Amino acid sequence: MNLALFDLDNTLLAGDSDFEWGQFLTRKGIVDKEVFEARNVAFYEQYKAGTLDIYEFLDFQLQPLARHTRAELDAWHAEFMESTVRPMMTPKAQALVNEHLAAGDIVAVVTATNSFVTGPIVRAFGIPHLIATIPAQENGAFTGKPRGTPSFQGGKIERVESWLESMALNWGSFGKSSFYSDSHNDLPLLCKVTNPVAVDPDATLQARAEAEGWPVISLRG
């Protein structure tokens, strides 16, 4: 039995669903364009630089979920999927996912982006498991705060291990464990698996992959 883990943004997707969700909200006029868009861009630059404070970002990113009903949010997300996400779902990415599924591997997406944004995307890929940052809810409404450990940097290891434990599994349960990612933010989990794969990597991850002899692939096109 093998384990196949995928980052989502800029890995399986040819773009960043977290960033694009914020841009979608500004285009719809759901959030203040001038204020929200500037902060959204600033946080995205911090993420790429490896300087993001995940809790500060989540305070910003989850607030719009708390201001609207679930029905409104679900309707907007359906529009977001068709207008923005599906064009970022490349045939190469889907083929790789299908290859792992056909092999009988346990397949999951492990992403820092919250589960409201990513759940429908992961289901569209046909992936059965999602490990994402969880937006807290009370009485069916989002609170604007995260619940538990965010699935970010070293937190991805904690969340994956808790998920494996819930199935009475651990790293040693697998003949091979793979993780596919584009980002140096994912180096902790990349170093944990037996088969780290850099996918259209940023410069820092590219250099590390070359130094370690990790495979480097592209899922674009």
What is the DSSP code (8-state) at residue 151? Answer: S
Q: What is the DSSP letter of 148?
A: S
- What are the boundaries of each domain within the chain? 2-217
Inter-residue contact 197 to 178 (CB < 8 Å): yes
- Residue 216, token pair as written in the block: 């480097």
* CATH architecture label of 2-217: 3-Layer(aba) Sandwich (3.40)
Asked if 134 and 155 touch (Cβ cutoff 8 Å), the reply is no
Is 9 one of the catalytic residues?
Answer: yes
Q: Which two tokens stand for residue 157?
A: 């290891």
What are the pLDDT digits (tens) for 97-114?
A: 999 999 999 999 999 999
Active-site residue 200, yes or no? no
Predicted confidence pLDDT, tens digits, the chain (221 residues): 999 999 999 999 999 999 999 999 999 999 888 778 888 888 889 988 889 888 888 888 888 899 999 999 999 999 999 999 999 999 999 999 999 999 999 999 999 999 999 999 999 999 999 999 999 999 888 998 999 999 999 999 999 999 999 999 999 999 999 999 999 999 999 999 999 999 999 999 999 999 999 999 999 97
Quickly list DSSP for 143-160.
Answer: EEEEESS-SSTTHHHHHH
H/E segment holding residue 211: helix 203-212
The CA-to-CA distance between both ends of the chain, in Å, stands at 30
- pLDDT tens digit sequence for 52-81: 888 888 888 888 899 999 999 999 999 999
The C-alpha angle 32, 37, 43, rounded to 5 degrees, equals: 130
